[in-house]
A and B are shown apart, each in its own frame.
Chain A
Amino acid sequence: MYLYTHKAEIMQEYNEDIVVEQLQNPATVRQAFAQVVAQYSKPLYWQIRKMVLSHDDANDLLQNTFLKAWGSIEYFRGDAKLSTWLYRIAVNETLTFLAKEREQRNLKADDADNFLLLNIESDEFFDGDRAQRLLQEAIVQLPEKQRLVFNMRYFDEMKYEEMSEIMGTSVGALKASYHHAAKKIEEYLQAHI
């Protein structure tokens, strides 16, 4: 097992162009990938966590995301942005995980993922107040792709163009989806607050 002990190399200043070039070179790929993990683990983690709500599940899915990326790094040729490529893998991993969870519970794709709320109840890494908990309850009522759009836009303030590249959906459809999601959440909050 290769042990990566050069913490300084992970922490060096991140330059995407250089990293992408190094990812193509067998001599530097591992060091470059370490920088990729350091750079993207945080945004990807939060993207996943806001979908599955549990820290443990998010941690597992983040590891799977990077393992998948590492396993297919030779297919990344820099045509898309590295972040877009990683987000796509993370989103696919998350949606696959949620689909399996729903299947175990005999839930349909459009059903609200209320079982996820149990993750919040039992998660020691959630210390939100009542309003924040209610907001998560409202978000969970949305279909999963709309939830994804809402999280990306509302919490991360991601640009629609970037979301469009990640999700393969038009900007117009994403704007409409966000608008409807916000409206549904507002209605849910008004009814439960």
Chain B
Amino acid sequence: MEKKTPLLDEIGRKHGMKVPEDYFADFTEKMVDSLPEREIPLPEQPTLWLRVRPWVYMAAMFAGVWLMMKMFTGIFSVEKGETPQVEMTASAPEESTVEDEWIAHYVDDYTAYEMLYTEGDY
């Protein structure tokens, strides 16, 4: 509790207001007697769909998970070789072909002749 300030401390917590005698006892009785009649609606009974809905949703979720697992399992089994693989027919070009290509494109006549003369047996 906070400290009261000096003057508030002096006055205290009494407010000086009062009520007629037996006010609260009388008030309760009069108040309750004056309450209007009213219909309090009974809480609604849940329909069959509302009751089974959580189970249907859960079943749908499991079915979805099962389908996904089935689909992914299928994909992985294909990757493991259960279906015929496409034959890869990559073949390395022979060394001479590469050399010929290189010579054709990058070696001019003069250099070619020079090579012939320096490397050849003539």
- Which B residues are in CB contact (< 8 Å) with A24? 43
- Which B residues are in CB contact (< 8 Å) with A34? 28, 32
Instruction: Determine chain B's interface SS by DSSP, over half rule.
Output: loop
**Most chain A CB neighbours (cut-off 10 Å) among B1, B7, B8, B28:** B28
A182 within 8 A of B: yes
B33 close to A1 (CB less than 8 A): yes
**Given the contacts A33-B32, A74-B41, A185-B8, A127 and B19 also touching, CB distance less than 8 Å:** no
Q: How would residues 17 to 33 of chain B score, 1 for a CB under 8 Å from any chain A CB and 0 otherwise?
A: 11110001001110111
A70 within 8 A of B: yes
Partner of A189, one of B7, B17, B34, B38: B7
| CB-nearest residue of chain B to A188 | B7
B20 close to A128 (CB less than 8 A): no
Partner of A49, one of B1, B17, B33: B17
**Besides the contacts A26-B39, A129-B16, what 10 more A-B pairs have beta carbons closer than 8 Å?**
A2-B33, A10-B32, A71-B38, A128-B17, A131-B10, A132-B14, A135-B15, A136-B16, A154-B13, A186-B7
Binding site for B on A (CB under 8 A): 1-4, 7, 10, 24, 26, 29-30, 33-34, 37-38, 41-42, 45, 49-50, 53, 55, 59, 62-63, 66-67, 70-71, 73-74, 123, 125-129, 131-136, 153-155, 157, 178-179, 182-183, 185-186, 189-190, 193
